[in-house]
C-alpha cells in the first residue's frame, strides 16, 4: 500500500507533531513520529497495543514529555509541559477510562476542576446547550451513578467540549459502548468536525471503526509511523496488514482486529456439540447486593456444560465484574447458589471456588490474578502450594522444575522462575495466570475479558488456548465486552444487562442486531 499524502501544507495544520521520539528504558515508544491533524477532518490513529499511539497522544496533551521533536499548533511552535498547557492551546481529550464521580450529578461533574466561583445555573445552561447542539440528550441533574455507561461517556464528552477545544482527542472511545451507541458517537463527532471546523484524532485498534469514522488514517507499528493514507483509498485487510506488519489470515486474528462481518448468521460454527454433556457450572437465582444495597446481580441463572464455551455478552458495568467475583470467592451471594460439578460451593469463602475446580482468568490480573512483588514460580503455585511442598515446607527443587516446565509449555518469556512478576510484560503476566489456572486442571474456567490489553499475537494464543481447553472437556464461561470475541469463540451466547441474563441464543442463531439491542437493555 503506497502512502498517499493528503495534499495539505504543514502550515495550515491545526496540529503538527514533528519528529516526536520517546524512549522508556530499552523500549522506544515513539520513534521520529510525524502527525498532522487538519481542521474539519477526523484523523484515525491505528495500531496494535503497544504501537505507541497512546504515548503519542499523552505527549500531545502534556501527560508525557517527549525526548525529541516539536509541536506546532496553527503554525506556531508550542511547548506543552502539562495538561494545563494543552488546555490553554485548545486541546481536549476524552479518555478511555472515565474520570467521573459517581455520587455527584452531571453538572457537578462537569464543573469539577474549574477554577473560580461555582455558578450552577450557568453550568447547567451550558450543558443543555452543548447537549442540544450535538444531540447528546444529557440531563444535567441526573446522578452519574444512575446513568448507563454510554450516557456516562457523553458526560465525559460534554466535560471536554465545555472548554470549547479546537482539537479533540478520543482514546478508544467505543470500548464501553453498544454498537448502536458507537454509531451515535461517530455521528456526533462528524457533526463537531464538519460544522465547527474542529480537528479530531481518533485512537483505535479497531479497523471497522477507523474505516467508518475517519477521513485519513495514520498507522503505527512499534513506535513508528508505517503509513499515512486517506481512508477512502484503503480497505480493512490492507490496513490490517500495515498494522500487524504481515498479512492477516487467521480467524482469531481477524477477530482481534474487529474484522467480523456485521451479518454473522450462518458463518462457521464451532464443531463440538456439547448439548448432551453434563452441566459443570450452575448458577441458580444468584443475587448480589453491593454495600449500598443496590442489586448488582439480580436472580441470575446460568449454566455451562462440559466442553462448552458460553459467552456472556454485555455492555461493561452490568454485573460482569460481580459475576466473576462470585466465581472467584471474592463476593458472597445474598441469595441463590452456585453448583460446580454437582456440588454446591459456599460463596465468599476464601479459596472455595478454586478448590471446587473453578479456574479464573480475571478481568484485572493485578487486582486478583497475580502478586506482582512475588516471583513467577510463587505466582504459578500460590493457589495450590500443596503440590510443590512437603509437610508445608516449599520444595524449591520441585517448584523450580515444575515452573520451568510451565514456562516452556506456555511460552512465558522471563529471565527465570525467580524473576519477579512485575518484570514481565502484560502478555506474559497473563500467560502466568493462564498457566496456573490450566495446570490445576479446572472443571470450569472463567475467562473475564481475557484478551484485553494484549497484542495480536497474544490474543491469538489466548483464544486458541481457550478453544483447546473447552475441547478437553472443561466448561468455559467467557465474559467479554468484545462482541467479536464472543461470536468467534462461544457455542452459546447469553446477554447480561442490569445484573440479569436477558437473552440467550445458540451461536448459530446469533445476529449482531439482536445482541446489540439486548445489550442496550431491550429484551428482544
Q: Contact with another protein (CB under 8 A): which of 13, 31, 39, 49?
A: 49
* Alpha-carbon distances of 5 from 31, 223, 228, rounded to whole Å: 20, 20, 7
Q: Contact with another protein (CB under 8 A): which of 273, 373, 409, 506?
A: 373
Q: Which is nearer to another protein, 362 or 503 (CB)?
A: 362
Query: Which of 170, 106, 149, 218 lies closest to 521, judged by CA?
Result: 149
Q: Contact with another protein (CB under 8 A): which of 143, 180, 355, 512?
A: 355
Q: Contact with another protein (CB under 8 A): which of 4, 70, 99, 423?
A: 423
Q: Which is nearer to another protein, 174 or 463 (CB)?
A: 174
385's CB contacts (< 8 A; 6+ apart) are 394
Q: Phi and psi of 489, rounded to 5°?
A: -105, -35
- Please report where in the chains the cell 461517556 appears, as a residue: 153
Asked if residue 53 binds another protein (CB under 8 A), the reply is: yes
Rama region for 192: left / alpha / beta (φ>0; ψ in -120 to 50; rest): alpha
Q: How many residues belong to the site for another protein (CB under 8 A)?
A: 63
Rounded to whole angstroms, the Cα distance separating 151 from 154 reads 5
Q: Contact with another protein (CB under 8 A): which of 32, 85, 418, 511?
A: 418
Rounded to whole angstroms, the Cα distance separating 62 from 80 reads 5
Q: Which of residues 230-289 bind another protein (CB under 8 A)?
A: none
Asked if residue 353 binds another protein (CB under 8 A), the reply is: yes
Site string for another protein, 469-498 (x = CB under 8 A): ------------------------------
235-242 long-range contacts, CB within 8 A, separation 24+: 235/211, 236/207, 236/208, 236/211, 238/1, 239/46, 239/207, 239/210, 239/211, 240/207, 241/1, 242/1
Rounded to whole angstroms, the Cα distance separating 213 from 42 reads 7
Piece in contact with another protein (CB under 8 A), picked from 126-134, 263-271, 410-418, 490-498: 410-418
Taking the complex as a whole, how short is the minimal distance between the CB of residue 31 and another protein, in angstroms?
Answer: 15
Q: What sign results for the dihedral spanned by CA atoms 293, 299, 305, 310?
A: negative
Taking the complex as a whole, how short is the minimal distance between the CB of residue 392 and another protein, in angstroms?
Answer: 5
Asked if residue 4 binds another protein (CB under 8 A), the reply is: no
Rama region for 108: left / alpha / beta (φ>0; ψ in -120 to 50; rest): alpha
Determine contact, residues 281/353, Cβ cutoff 8 Å.
no
Q: Contact with another protein (CB under 8 A): which of 86, 123, 153, 172?
A: 172
* Alpha-carbon distances of 449 from 313, 454, 479, 483, rounded to whole Å: 10, 10, 6, 11
Q: Which of residues 425-454 bind another protein (CB under 8 A)?
A: 453
Asked if residue 419 binds another protein (CB under 8 A), the reply is: yes
Piece in contact with another protein (CB under 8 A), picked from 130-138, 157-165, 381-389, 498-506: 381-389
Piece in contact with another protein (CB under 8 A), picked from 73-81, 194-202, 272-280, 415-423: 415-423
Q: Which is nearer to another protein, 194 or 372 (CB)?
A: 372
Asked if residue 416 binds another protein (CB under 8 A), the reply is: yes
Piece in contact with another protein (CB under 8 A), picked from 207-215, 241-249, 269-277, 380-388: 380-388
- CA 264 to centroid of chain Cα atoms: 22
Rounded to whole angstroms, the Cα distance separating 236 from 231 reads 10
Asked if residue 99 binds another protein (CB under 8 A), the reply is: no
Q: Which is nearer to another protein, 204 or 318 (CB)?
A: 204
Taking the complex as a whole, how short is the minimal distance between the CB of residue 123 and another protein, in angstroms?
Answer: 30
Q: Which of residues 317-346 bind another protein (CB under 8 A)?
A: 328-330
Q: Which is nearer to another protein, 355 or 512 (CB)?
A: 355
208's CB contacts (< 8 A; 6+ apart) are 236, 258, 259
Q: Where do runs of H (alpha helix) occur along 162-199?
A: 179-196
* Secondary structure class of 290 (helix, strand, coil): coil
Asked if residue 370 binds another protein (CB under 8 A), the reply is: yes
Q: Which three cell numbers stand for residue 412?
A: 512465558
Query: Which of 273, 331, 335, 342 lies closest to 303, judged by CA?
Result: 342
Specify the length of the chain in residues: 524
Binding positions for another protein, rule: CB under 8 A: 24-27, 29, 47, 49-50, 52-55, 64, 96, 171-172, 203-205, 328-330, 349-355, 360, 362, 367-375, 378, 381-383, 385-386, 389, 392-394, 396-397, 399-400, 415-420, 422-423, 453
Amino acid at each position: 500500500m503506497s502512502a498517499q499524502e493528503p495534499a495539505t501544507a504543514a502550515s495550515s495544520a491545526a496540529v503538527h507533531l514533528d519528529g516526536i521520539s520517546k524512549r522508556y528504558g530499552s523500549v522506544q515508544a515513539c520513534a521520529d513520529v510525524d502527525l498532522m491533524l487538519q481542521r474539519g477532518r477526523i484523523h484515525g490513529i491505528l495500531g496494535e497495543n503497544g504501537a505507541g499511539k497512546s504515548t503519542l497522544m499523552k505527549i500531545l496533551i502534556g501527560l508525557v514529555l517527549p525526548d525529541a521533536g516539536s509541536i506546532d499548533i496553527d503554525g506556531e511552535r508550542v511547548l506543552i509541559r502539562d495538561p494545563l498547557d494543552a488546555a490553554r492551546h485548545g486541546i481536549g481529550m476524552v479518555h478511555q477510562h472515565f474520570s467521573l464521580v459517581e455520587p455527584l450529578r452531571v453538572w457537578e461533574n462537569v464543573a469539577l476542576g474549574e477554577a473560580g466561583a461555582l455558578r450552577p445555573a450557568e453550568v447547567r445552561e451550558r450543558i443543555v446547550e452543548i447537549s442540544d447542539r450535538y444531540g447528546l440528550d444529557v440531563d444535567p441533574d441526573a446522578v452519574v451513578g444512575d446513568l448507563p455507561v454510554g450516557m456516562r461517556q457523553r458526560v465525559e464528552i460534554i466535560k471536554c467540549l465545555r472548554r470549547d477545544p479546537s482539537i479533540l482527542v478520543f482514546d478508544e472511545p467505543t470500548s464501553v459502548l453498544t454498537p448502536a451507541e458507537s454509531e451515535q458517537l461517530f455521528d456526533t463527532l462528524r457533526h463537531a468536525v464538519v460544522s465547527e471546523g474542529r480537528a479530531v484524532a481518533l485512537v483505535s485498534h479497531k479497523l471497522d471503526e477507523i474505516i467508518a469514522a475517519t477521513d485519513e488514517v495514520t498507522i503505527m507499528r512499534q513506535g513508528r509511523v508505517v503509513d499515512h493514507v486517506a481512508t477512502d483509498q484503503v480497505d480493512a485487510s490492507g490496513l490490517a496488514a500495515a498494522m500487524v506488519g504481515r498479512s492477516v489470515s487467521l480467524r482469531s486474528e481477524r477477530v482481534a482486529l474487529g474484522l467480523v462481518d456485521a451479518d454473522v448468521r450462518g458463518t462457521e460454527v464451532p464443531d463440538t456439540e456439547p448439548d448432551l454433556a453434563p452441566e459443570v457450572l450452575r448458577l441458580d437465582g444468584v443475587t448480589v447486593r453491593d454495600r449500598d444495597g443496590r442489586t448488582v446481580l439480580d436472580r441470575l441463572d446460568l449454566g455451562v456444560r462440559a466442553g462448552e464455551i458460553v459467552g456472556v455478552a454485555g455492555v461493561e458495568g452490568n454485573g460482569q465484574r460481580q459475576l466473576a467475583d462470585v466465581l472467584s470467592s471474592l463476593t458472597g451471594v445474598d441469595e441463590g447458589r452456585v453448583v460446580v460439578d454437582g456440588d454446591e460451593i459456599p460463596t465468599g469463602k476464601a479459596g472455595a471456588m478454586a478448590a471446587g475446580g473453578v479456574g479464573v482468568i480475571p478481568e484485572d490480573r493485578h487486582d486478583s490474578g497475580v502478586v506482582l512483588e512475588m516471583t513467577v514460580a510463587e505466582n504459578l503455585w500460590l493457589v495450590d502450594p500443596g503440590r510443590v511442598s512437603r509437610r508445608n515446607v516449599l520444595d524449591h527443587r520441585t517448584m523450580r522444575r515444575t515452573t520451568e516446565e510451565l514456562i516452556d509449555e506456555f511460552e512465558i518469556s522471563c529471565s527465570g522462575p525467580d524473576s519477579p512478576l512485575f518484570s514481565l510484560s502484560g502478555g506474559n503476566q497473563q500467560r502466568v495466570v493462564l498457566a496456573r489456572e490450566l495446570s490445576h486442571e479446572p472443571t470450569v474456567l472463567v475467562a473475564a475479558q481475557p484478551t484485553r490489553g494484549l497484542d495480536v499475537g497474544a490474543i491469538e494464543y489466548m483464544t486458541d488456548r481457550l478453544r483447546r481447553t473447552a475441547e478437553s472437556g472443561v466448561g468455559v464461561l467467557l465474559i467479554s465486552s468484545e462482541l467479536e470475541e464472543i461470536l468467534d469463540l462461544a457455542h452459546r451466547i447469553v446477554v447480561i444487562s442490569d445484573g440479569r441474563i436477558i437473552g440467550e441464543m445458540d451461536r448459530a442463531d446469533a445476529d449482531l442486531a439482536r445482541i446489540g439491542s439486548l445489550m442496550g437493555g431491550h429484551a428482544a
